[in-house]
Chains A and B, each alone.
Chain A
Amino acid sequence: MNKPFAITLDVGSSLLNKTGSWRTERPVYLDRLPPCNNACPAGENIQAWLYHAEEGRYEQAWREIMKNNPFPAVMGRVCYHPCEKACNRVHLDDAVGINSVERFLGDQALREGWQVAPGEDTGKRVMVVGAGPAGLACAYHLRSLGHQVTVYEASAQAGGMVRYGIPKYRMPRQKLKAEIRRIEEMGVEIVLNTRIDDIQGFKQANGFDALFLAIGAQQPKRVEIPSDESIQQLDAVGLLRAIEEEEHVALRGRVVVYGGGNTAIDVARSAIRMGATQVTLLVYEAREKMPAHEMEIAEALEEGVEILPLRAIREIRDGSLKLEQMVDGEGQWPQASGQFENFQADLVVQALGQQVETDLLQGLVGARIEDDALQVDVEMKSGCEGVFAGGDMVPSARTVTTAIGHGKHAARSIDAWLRGEQYRKPVKHELVEIDKMNTWYYTDAPRTVRPMLDIVRRQSGFAEVVGDLDEINAAYEARRCMSCGNCFECDNCYGVCPDNAITKLGPGNRFEFKYDYCKGCGMCATECPCGAIKMEPESI
């Protein structure tokens, strides 16, 4: 006994006392699905690329986008950003400007000349029909996976509806060209001016192992209006294509656009720019039921487009339209009222939607065409062996982003099929709701508003309407992301644990619970800002 006076025991540490045995509930770290990622039709991991952008690591952010979407500069312009509608930040101030950051990253990549390497050669050859967003996205992903890809396009330029359907003021052509060029530089061959009528025969004759079809929906839907030919009638798709090909288009005088979708808005806004004196949108539906995107409608109104909702054109006679007033009811479609009025016009453009050119699909044995679309299964397979399809020609929302998502999904399915396997989408995490988060911790930050082109210049030319973020405010905007559902290493759990029962594993490696000592108080879960910890009952 070599101890001081009155000391009989050695000093021990409390670590001998495993307080974990007190626990009835245990905290566990989990990843939940953020609503933006959930909403993205192209399946982008938005939160992950915002995370890189927050620290100004723009190239890494861009590469994260490129895992799922080869068109950030296009997306940052023409995507209707369902991600922002889903964003949880609306419960605090305003949604994160995801679209504007994506556009900045896309443009930054073009400025810096960032490239993507193709995958290791597999020796397989895939044919893609249609160089629109679906076809090009599919080609890009297939090339990333190492396959040889040739894309056949009937038009003189690649880009599909992004080029021939979306006017320049929304989608400057040099950006589109540059992003397509980048795909070509990976080794994807794009053959233009080549319409293929016997698709199946062409595939076999040229020895392709698989085929991805993405011919879009390019044929205008028309209604027959009794007419004495006193007013010229055009269709929207043909008109937008003619503008793109810089053919002479007389879009002057009093222009009436018949339809309430995004294409109708595109035509109306183009007409303003080409010097029409009066542009009126005649819409069958009620104003609030117009299918066009709200922001597009707002911008069109700013530019002077007039909207007359609940109108149907019944007849064209003596340079005048006979309109019937419609009544919005409970049902899906408005009802005729029997009230008529006359409307003076010089030109009518029908913008009533598009359909798939199904003639091209006749030779595909087993392909099923229903409801004006080629039917595909969950793997984007048509009924015809080795033929996959996507984009506007299959049942979908018919947006660019959806098409890009189809392209990716099809590429992964084709890749699996070529190896004799089946592609299974990874299981999604559970969605994180705002009530699972502790939003106290996020500081107030108003959204960065993108500059808009002066109204006079918008009315007189095709210059891009919406401006850019710069490096500073792109990082700022990215930092508004709350990282819903996924740990962003704020150290809150590590700090607030009264039992020091969490180990910090270092930057990028997150944390670990010391279950020997965790008493299960649940403070970490309550104070986790982003909802990445949940309490589970302990099995006793």
Chain B
Amino acid sequence: MPHQQVKFYQTGTLTVGNRLLDKAQRTVQATMDRSNSLDSGHRACQGCGEALGARYAIDAAMRATDNQLIAANATGCLEVFTTPYPESAWRIPWMHSLFGNAPSVATGIAAALRVKGRQDVRVIAQGGDGGTTDIGFGALSGMFERNDDVLYICYDNQAYMNTGVQRSSATPGSARTATTMPLGAEPGAEFDKGKNVPLIAMAHGIPYVATASVDRLHDLEAKVEKAMSIRGARYIQVFVPCPLGWGSKPADTVKVARLAVESGLYPLFEAEYGELTSATKIRRKLPVADYLKLQRRFAHTLKSETQLARLQAVADNNIRRFGLIDEQGD
């Protein structure tokens, strides 16, 4: 009989590790000697998606650069919970900056390395969605426009969590925050406001833009690795649920992220030089309500048919626009 390969790997690439896969296909997180760039003892809340996303991304970048990495960090949860002076949970060269100037600081580090002729050391800037999409937006746009050799990673938890859950320009329509209470005719954050920074980054024509999520580790690591193989300005936005700000269970962080992706509310894609190049397909499409019902910030939407319909329309639009479902099926 003809020789055929066993193609099925029990959990495929869905789990963090899989002993049936080739070593090269396994994740950084599955290795015993991962760098644990963000170590234990940090003060993030239980089930923090940002702490998880940051370790995923930075560990992957560490492996991609052979541990030659410097990071600049915008003020925000990520800074406050990792580094209450003089203690730090970071195990990489790491530099504090203000809320709004992490891109500029990173640009400076990259310039200094260029002057010193250190091609091998790479630079990352990172921050939350507030520091990225609002406060640091001018600096970020400048970094893109100059095509500085920096990978900027935005951990997107869709509001200012550190200061008490205020709306940011990444907060989705209808979400409850301290400043968008679920009151009145249109409870929660208004629809059709805010900005989509990955698309804005693409508009700068930079070499690489991607979105990722903490529930898709293989996908996330591949995107970080790809980014580190490119020189110039790059941008990755990682979806990181926040149990405290979203009113979800700490144990459900990865699940919430998974449902955001599977419902189509958080499209995962890649773009190079302003052109979309790939989209991560939805495995089993789910209604947005499955995602919303795990979070108190959306509790009111389940009682409002109009809001539910609008959120579903957002998801359906994403699916169409980014091609999140294969027409032929898989």
Cβ proximity bits A1-43 to B, threshold 8 Å, 1 near / 0 not? 0000000011111111111001000000000000000000000
A54 interfacial contact with B, CB 8 Å: yes
Q: Is the CB of B11 within 8 A of A529?
A: yes
A101 to chain B, nearest CB (A): 13
> Nearest residue in A to B4 (C-beta to C-beta)?
A472
B216 to chain A, nearest CB (A): 12
Q: Is the CB of B15 within 8 A of A491?
A: yes
Of B42-50, B128-136, B157-165, B188-196, the one contacting chain A is B42-50
B29 interfacial contact with A, CB 8 Å: yes
A142 interfacial contact with B, CB 8 Å: no
Cβ proximity bits B240-256 to A, threshold 8 Å, 1 near / 0 not? 00010000011111110
A480 interfacial contact with B, CB 8 Å: yes
B12 interfacial contact with A, CB 8 Å: yes
Total interface residues on A, CB under 8 Å, equals 57
A61 to chain B, nearest CB (A): 15
Partner of A490, one of B8, B11, B252: B11
Residue among B4, B40, B88 with max Cβ neighbours from chain A (10 Å): B40
Report chain B residues within 8 Å CB of A522: 46-47, 249-251
Q: Is the CB of B8 within 8 A of A499?
A: no
Bound Cα distance A87, B55 (Å) = 37
Q: Is the CB of A19 within 8 A of B10?
A: no
Taking A12-B87, A475-B6, A495-B30 as contacts, is the C-beta distance between A521 and B16 under 8 angstroms? no
B32 interfacial contact with A, CB 8 Å: yes
B117 interfacial contact with A, CB 8 Å: no
Q: Is the CB of A479 within 8 A of B250?
A: no
Partner of A442, one of B10, B36, B254: B10
Q: Is the CB of A445 within 8 A of B20?
A: no
Q: Is the CB of A501 within 8 A of B40?
A: yes
B62 to chain A, nearest CB (A): 14
> Nearest residue in B to A7 (C-beta to C-beta)?
B86
Residue among B10, B49, B51, B258 with max Cβ neighbours from chain A (10 Å): B10
Q: Is the CB of B41 within 8 A of A494?
A: no
A517 interfacial contact with B, CB 8 Å: yes
Q: Is the CB of B6 within 8 A of A479?
A: yes
Report chain B residues within 8 Å CB of A498: 44, 47-49, 51-52, 55, 253
Report chain A residues within 8 Å CB of B226: none
Residues facing A in B1-47 (CB within 8 A) are: 1, 4-6, 8-12, 14-20, 27, 29-30, 32, 36, 38-44, 46-47
B228 interfacial contact with A, CB 8 Å: no
Cβ proximity bits A479-515 to B, threshold 8 Å, 1 near / 0 not? 1111000001111101111111100101100000010
B288 to chain A, nearest CB (A): 18
Q: Is the CB of A499 within 8 A of B42?
A: yes
A233 interfacial contact with B, CB 8 Å: no
Cβ proximity bits A430-456 to B, threshold 8 Å, 1 near / 0 not? 000000000011110100000000000
Bound Cα distance A516, B39 (Å) = 13
> Nearest residue in B to A23 (C-beta to C-beta)?
B46
Bound Cα distance A12, B18 (Å) = 36
Majority SS at the chain A contact face:
loop
Q: Is the CB of B52 within 8 A of A496?
A: yes
Partner of B16, one of A12, A442, A490, A517: A490
> Nearest residue in A to B3 (C-beta to C-beta)?
A472
Bound Cα distance A496, B254 (Å) = 8
Bound Cα distance A488, B87 (Å) = 37
> Nearest residue in B to A478 (C-beta to C-beta)?
B10
> Nearest residue in A to B32 (C-beta to C-beta)?
A504
> Nearest residue in B to A473 (C-beta to C-beta)?
B6
Q: Is the CB of B8 within 8 A of A15?
A: no
Report chain A residues within 8 Å CB of B307: none
Report chain A residues within 8 Å CB of B29: 491, 494-495
B45 to chain A, nearest CB (A): 8
Q: Is the CB of B10 within 8 A of A443?
A: yes
Q: Is the CB of B250 within 8 A of A521?
A: yes
Residues facing B in A132-188 (CB within 8 A) are: none
Partner of A520, one of B42, B46, B87, B88: B46
A384 interfacial contact with B, CB 8 Å: no
Q: Is the CB of A13 within 8 A of B88?
A: yes
B285 to chain A, nearest CB (A): 14
Residue among B29, B32, B46, B86 with max Cβ neighbours from chain A (10 Å): B46
Taking A443-B11, A498-B52 as contacts, is the C-beta distance between A517 and B6 under 8 angstroms? no
> Nearest residue in A to B86 (C-beta to C-beta)?
A9
B217 interfacial contact with A, CB 8 Å: yes
A255 interfacial contact with B, CB 8 Å: no
B86 to chain A, nearest CB (A): 4
Q: Is the CB of A480 within 8 A of B250?
A: no
Bound Cα distance A455, B5 (Å) = 30
A55 interfacial contact with B, CB 8 Å: yes
Bound Cα distance A494, B52 (Å) = 11
Taking A14-B87, A472-B4 as contacts, is the C-beta distance between A443 and B9 under 8 angstroms? yes
Q: Is the CB of A491 within 8 A of B254?
A: no
Residues facing B in A460-474 (CB within 8 A) are: 470, 472-473
Q: Is the CB of B8 within 8 A of A492?
A: no
Q: Is the CB of A479 within 8 A of B40?
A: no
Residues facing B in A28-77 (CB within 8 A) are: 54-55
Partner of A12, one of B5, B17, B51, B88: B88
B156 to chain A, nearest CB (A): 16
B302 interfacial contact with A, CB 8 Å: no
Taking A14-B39, A475-B6, A499-B42 as contacts, is the C-beta distance between A494 and B16 under 8 angstroms? yes
B75 interfacial contact with A, CB 8 Å: no
Residue among A445, A482, A496 with max Cβ neighbours from chain B (10 Å): A496
Partner of A15, one of B19, B20, B40: B40
> Nearest residue in B to A496 (C-beta to C-beta)?
B254
Taking A14-B39, A492-B15, A498-B48 as contacts, is the C-beta distance between A54 and B255 under 8 angstroms? no
Partner of A470, one of B1, B20, B250: B1
Partner of A479, one of B4, B10, B15, B254: B10
B107 interfacial contact with A, CB 8 Å: no
Q: Is the CB of B20 within 8 A of A479?
A: yes
Report chain A residues within 8 Å CB of B258: 440
Report chain A residues within 8 Å CB of B15: 441, 490-492, 495, 529
Partner of A519, one of B6, B38, B46, B217: B46
A284 interfacial contact with B, CB 8 Å: no
Report chain B residues within 8 Å CB of A470: 1
Taking A11-B86, A440-B258, A476-B6 as contacts, is the C-beta distance between A18 and B18 under 8 angstroms? no
Q: Is the CB of A13 within 8 A of B39?
A: yes
Report chain B residues within 8 Å CB of A527: 254-255
A416 interfacial contact with B, CB 8 Å: no
A523 interfacial contact with B, CB 8 Å: yes
> Nearest residue in A to B31 (C-beta to C-beta)?
A504
B89 interfacial contact with A, CB 8 Å: yes
> Nearest residue in B to A516 (C-beta to C-beta)?
B40
> Nearest residue in B to A504 (C-beta to C-beta)?
B32
> Nearest residue in A to B13 (C-beta to C-beta)?
A443
Report chain B residues within 8 Å CB of A500: 36, 38-40, 55
A496 to chain B, nearest CB (A): 5
Provide 9 A-B residue pairs closer than 8 Å at the C-beta atoms, listed in order of the A residue.
Answer: A17-B43, A441-B14, A480-B10, A491-B18, A495-B27, A498-B52, A499-B42, A521-B47, A521-B243
- Taking Cβ atoms with an 8 Å cutoff, the residues of A that contact B are 9-19, 22, 54-55, 440-443, 445, 470, 472-473, 475-476, 479-482, 488-492, 494-501, 504, 506-507, 514, 516-517, 519-523, 525-527, 529, 535
Q: Which 10 A-B pairs have the closest CB atoms?
A: A491-B17, A495-B16, A522-B251, A14-B41, A14-B89, A521-B47, A517-B40, A521-B46, A490-B15, A9-B86
Given A499-B40, A521-B253, A522-B249, 16 more A-B residue pairs with CB atoms under 8 Å apart are: A12-B86, A13-B88, A14-B82, A442-B10, A476-B6, A479-B9, A488-B19, A490-B15, A491-B18, A491-B27, A494-B16, A498-B48, A498-B55, A499-B51, A500-B40, A507-B19
